[in-house]
């Protein structure tokens, strides 16, 4: 197919993970709507809702206040990250018996490339995936949905098809039957915003996307157009990457006037700390390095970085570090044109497993 060697990819996705762990640990919660998330008073959002709560329309990333309005009988619980990390490690140990090529997407989700293991053992990916699913259930007491396919895109679609407790093998022929009818949102990289712009031009399904004129596609998606056209045909060359590349998360602003006032600078930095912390939590990342960037009125750029003692996603910690860095970065009283805050050097879900670090 498409000049690529054949691969065997498995996608393992724990069902309603945080909520399921809570129901596992507290039998009184089983069969009841459970929401794991932040307090509505602190403008918290839903991390995970149990399937009982999803029936009321509760979804991940929804403000907790709205979730409780939809489902007043739900039990709201604060996340116990350490417990989820521990179970995640248990799952990871099972996965590692099959391959080292594991790409954790989040604490509850991972891709495995078992191509070499299939060659080595003569067992099929389907047999291994079934065994993984059974072992995860036996060893953790929790269900996972598992998809098997020749690439990541199809493996993820497969694990999604029969959630919860699903097991779906999707070969190219099956994918070819299913893909054209699926909503465009199912394609990797199509978020809510892109979905909306596609809907506006009458593109609702992956089949619609396939029929789109090439020129229009590239006007809408630029360099991504070609990849998207391939994905729409079920072709995905992305490798399973045991480590994701390091990125940074940041925010910056250019002032309408040059600012000398320390309090105004500190206030701006404080606002960035909130924003950056939100985004870290959203991506379930912890950052080790904090960097403050300053551009003076004369366009001199200055940066100061600090590596924290323990990785964090807390605004207070970021703010404290950033304010000190700001003091160091800006020589007294010089007018500032732009300031920014960035964090990097992330601890990823994959590292939690490896290092066994507490949050
Ligand atoms: Mg999941």
CA distances from 294 to 207, 279, 304, 337 (A): 48, 21, 9, 8
144 C-alpha to ligand 1 centroid (Å)? 8
pLDDT of residue 280: 84
Do 131 and 110 contact (CB within 8 A), yes or no? no
- Shared domain check, 340 and 275: yes
284 lies in some domain: yes
Q: Are 313 and 285 in contact (CB under 8 A)?
A: yes
Q: Which two tokens stand for residue 11?
A: 């996608």
Cα 187 to Cα 24, 180, 195, 219: the distances in Å are: 32, 11, 10, 19
- 243 occurs within a structural domain: no
Residue 332 is assigned to a structural domain of this protein:
yes
Q: Answer whether residue 133 is part of any domain.
A: yes
2 in a structural domain: no
Give the chain's residues under pLDDT 70: 1-4, 243-247, 348-359
Tokens 């604060």: give the residue.
78
Pairing of strands 249-259, 144-149: unpaired
Q: What would the DSSP string read from start to end of 195-241? A: HHHHHHTT--BHHHHHHS-HHHHHHHHGGGHHHHHHHHTT---PPP-
145 Cα: distance to centroid of ligand 1 (angstroms): 8
Q: Which of 154, 143, 81 has the alpha carbon at shortest distance from 111? A: 154
**Domain, as residue range, for 138:** 9-16+82-173
Per the omega criterion (within 30 degrees of 0), is the bond before 180 cis? Answer: no
Domain identity same for 253 and 344: yes
Residue 77 and residue 88 in one domain = no
Q: Are residues 339 and 255 in the same domain?
A: yes
Contact 167, 130 (CB under 8 A): yes
Task: Note whether 98 and 112 are within 8 A (CB).
Answer: yes
Q: Provide the pLDDT for residue 212.
A: 92
Asked which of 26, 61, 81 is the last residue of a domain, the reply is 81
Are 112 and 200 part of one and the same domain? no
Task: Report pLDDT for 348.
Answer: 62
Q: Are 280 and 322 within one domain?
A: yes
335: number of Cβ within 10 Å: 14
Say yes or no: 96 and 166 in one domain.
yes
297 domain-assigned: yes
Cα(155) to centroid(ligand 1), Å = 14
Residues 185 and 217 in one domain: yes
pTM for this entry: 0.69
CATH of the domain at 191: 1.10.150.20
Asked, for residue 261, whether it belongs to a domain, the answer is yes
350 Cα: distance to centroid of ligand 1 (angstroms): 15
Phi, psi of 106 (to 5 degrees): -155, -175
For residues 339 and 266, membership in a common domain is answered with yes
pLDDT at 243: 62
Structural domains counted in the chain: 4
How far does residue 213's CA lie from ligand 1's centre (Å)?
Answer: 35
Q: How many whole angstroms from 139 Cα to the centroid of ligand 1?
A: 17
pLDDT, position 256: 86
Whole-number average pLDDT of the chain: 89
Q: 224 and 285 share a domain?
A: no
> Domain with 27 in it: what CATH number?
3.40.1170.60
Q: What is the DSSP letter of 247?
A: -
Which CATH number covers residue 98? Answer: 3.30.70.270
Among 173, 196, 220, the domain boundary falls at 173
Q: What does the alpha-carbon distance between residue 177 and residue 2 come to, in Å, rounded to a whole number?
A: 18
User: 126 CA to middle of ligand 1, Å?
Assistant: 20
Structure tokens, 118: 């299939």
**DSSP notation for 267-323:** HHHHHHHHHHHHHHHHTT-EEEEEEEEEEETT--EEEEEEEEEEEE--HHHHHHHHH
Domain co-membership, 192 together with 123: no
Burial 55-88 (b: 16+ CB within 10 A, else e): ebebebebebeebbebbeebbbbebebeebbebb
Ligand 1 center from residue 325 Cα (angstroms): 38
Of 41, 58, 81, the one marking the end of a domain is: 81
Domain assignment present for residue 241? The answer is: no
Find, among 317, 319, 309, the residue nearest to 345 by Cα: 309
Which string of DSSP letters, residue by residue, matches 134-170? Answer: HHHHHHHS--EEEEEESSHHHHHHHHHHT-SS-EEE-
Separation of CA 109 and ligand 1 centre (Å): 6
Cβ atoms of residues 34 and 75 within 8 Å: yes
- Residues 167 and 190 both lie in one domain: no
Among candidate residues 22, 52, 103, 109, the one labeled active-site is 109
State pLDDT tens for residues 181-195. 999 999 887 878 888
Q: DSSP string of 1-21?
A: -TTPPP--EEEEEETTHHHHH
Q: What is the pLDDT of residue 321?
A: 95
Q: Give catalytic status of residue 109 as yes or no.
A: yes
């Amino acid at each position: 197919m498409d000049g690529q060697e054949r691969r065997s990819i498995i996608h393992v996705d724990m069902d309603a993970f945080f909520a399921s762990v809570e129901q596992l640990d507290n039998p009184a919660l089983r069969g009841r709507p459970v929401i794991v998330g932040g307090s509505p008073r602190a403008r918290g959002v839903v991390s995970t809702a149990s399937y009982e709560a999803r029936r009321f329309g509760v979804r991940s990333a929804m403000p907790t206040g709205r979730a409780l309005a939809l489902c007043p009988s739900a039990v709201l619980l604060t996340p116990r990250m350490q417990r989820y990390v521990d179970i995640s490690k248990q799952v990871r140990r099972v996965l590692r018996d099959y391959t080292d090529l594991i790409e954790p997407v989040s604490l509850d989700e991972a891709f495995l490339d078992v191509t070499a293991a299939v060659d080595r053992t003569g067992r099929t990916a389907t047999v291994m995936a079934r065994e993984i699913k059974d072992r995860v259930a036996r060893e953790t007491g929790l269900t996972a949905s598992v998809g098997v396919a020749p690439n990541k895109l199809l493996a993820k679609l497969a694990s999604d098809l029969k959630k919860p407790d699903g097991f779906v093998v999707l070969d190219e022929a099956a994918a070819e039957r299913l893909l054209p009818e699926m909503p465009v949102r199912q394609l990797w990289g199509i978020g809510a915003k892109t979905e909306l712009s596609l809907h506006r031009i009458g593109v609702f399904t992956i089949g619609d996307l396939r029929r789109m004129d090439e020129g229009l596609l590239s006007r809408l998606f630029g360099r991504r157009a070609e990849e998207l056209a391939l994905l729409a045909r079920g072709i995905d060359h992305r490798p399973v990457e045991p480590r994701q590349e390091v990125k940074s998360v940041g925010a910056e602003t250019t002032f309408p006037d040059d600012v000398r006032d320390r309090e105004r600078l500190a206030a701006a930095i404080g606002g960035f700390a909130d924003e950056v912390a939100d985004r870290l939590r959203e991506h379930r990342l912890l950052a080790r390095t904090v960097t403050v960037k300053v551009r003076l009125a004369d366009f001199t750029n200055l940066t100061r970085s600090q590596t924290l003692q323990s990785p964090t996603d807390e605004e207070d910690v970021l703010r404290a570090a950033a304010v000190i860095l700001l003091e160091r970065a800006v020589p007294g009283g010089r007018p500032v044109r732009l300031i920014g805050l960035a964090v990097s050097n992330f601890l990823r879900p994959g590292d939690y497993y490896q290092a066994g670090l507490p949050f």
